[in-house]
Amino acid sequence: MPQSSVNPATGKSLAVIADHSSTEVERLVARAAAAAATWRATPLDARTAMLRRMADLLDAENEPLARLATLEMGKPIVAARQEVAKCAVACRFYADQAPGYLAPERVVRDGRDDGAVHYLPLGVLLAIMPWNFPYWQAIRAAAPALAAGNVVMLKHASNVPQCALAIERLFVVAGARDGAFTTLLISGARAGALIDDPRIAAVTLTGSEAAGRDVGARAGRAVKPFVLELGGSDPFVVLASADIAAAAKTAAQARCINNGQSCIAAKRFIVHTAVYDAFVAQFTAAMRAMTMGDPLLDTTDIGPLATVSIRDEVADQVQRTVAAGARVVCGGSAPDGPGLFYPPTVLMDVPRDSAAAREEVFGPVAPLFRAANADEALALANDTAFGLGASVWTRDAAEASRFADGIEAGSVFINALMASDPRFPFGGVKASGIGRELAREGLRSFVNTKTVRGTA
């Protein structure tokens, strides 16, 4: 089945690109397997030089790359530019840090060198990536893997094939040639079957919980390392001592980032009863002030959702939540006209067993929950199957410390917007995933940590 690129703001087809045939896939996998031996033998300084060239290319082509992402999946153009720039930052980060992360670590006992721990590449990494951050998701997996001496095969989402091919072109121009980086144009089902191939050494996936379960089970049966970065239903907790104006402004940004289509977007807003009314008023005003429209305009805050199925699911989740007893404060229905738009939506009186409370809503919908005290707020924050990230707003240091340790998540941000950063490990707990990307931990997720002892 071909890869279809459709502009979600207009519904117009941008491109239809044929899938790789079985013969082509076999050729590309064989080429990657051969490249694995060559790339691991390439000196580290040459690999990091490639990443620096990649960063330069990303900066030089920021505008056309950003425009392509906006056209393919609807991201506001300002955010698309920021995404491309962040990819360049990640490439330079690993170019700078890989020598330290990969250096053998000596083990000393009683003043004598007793051996070392070496960090060596595994081979071919299969990266199965989603559409919502079409460059960042792929680059944050590929940059550390390539720095470590692995080669990468990218199976990207089928609605962003042009972005996927652009990433391959840039890596090849930067110096990851002859199969060191390859984009595979195949379906998810074919990618799953590829995990069984003995030439694939490891797998990383960013995607849904269901996809993670399938990939994890398959990689486990094949006894291959894997990292899963899955969904989230991140709590945004506002406690009694919070700066309400700052919290409300950031909350609207946190809920609407990437048109609400981000695993780390704030998705459940838990507010102490003492400041509930003030927060709701300011937060709702900030959500209403968002400009929805043409994502190619710099003034647009909210573009379309990426696909018909995503908008339909968001609309269904809102309808089911309202049917369960929630009240719509603003938004709540898709506008007429072309494009897959869904407005910023605020829901009050949300039942704790409703769709918006229990499911990940991948659109700009904000369910509000009132907490009687800090204990209830913490319990509500943890009352979810997910555990990706959280944002907590308080001016009480002891309270901040308690929530930082007490929230069951891979990241907790105090008085700040939740975001990924190459310097810090990224990932979740519970149904939000297994393993970590980024920082030292991300690079070492796909290396052979080898003990070497003795002398010749």
Annotated catalytic residues are 229, 263
Contacts of 405 by beta carbon, 8 Å cutoff, 6+ apart: none
CA distance 190 to 194: 6
Amino acid, single-letter form, for residue 14: L
Contacts of 396 by beta carbon, 8 Å cutoff, 6+ apart: 239, 241
Q: Where are the beta strands (DSSP E) in 262-335?
A: 266-272, 327-330
CA distance 350 to 380: 12
Q: Phi and psi (nearest 5°) for 274?
A: -65, -25
CA distance 186 to 203: 16
Sheet containing 327-330: order of strands: 327-330, 345-348, 365-371, 266-272, 234-238, 389-393, 411-414
Tell me 307's DSSP state: -
Sheet containing 226-229: order of strands: 181-184, 151-155, 124-128, 200-206, 226-229, 433-434
- Asked if 395 and 374 count as a contact pair (C-beta separation under 8 A), the reply is no
CA distance 195 to 221: 10
CA distance 187 to 200: 17
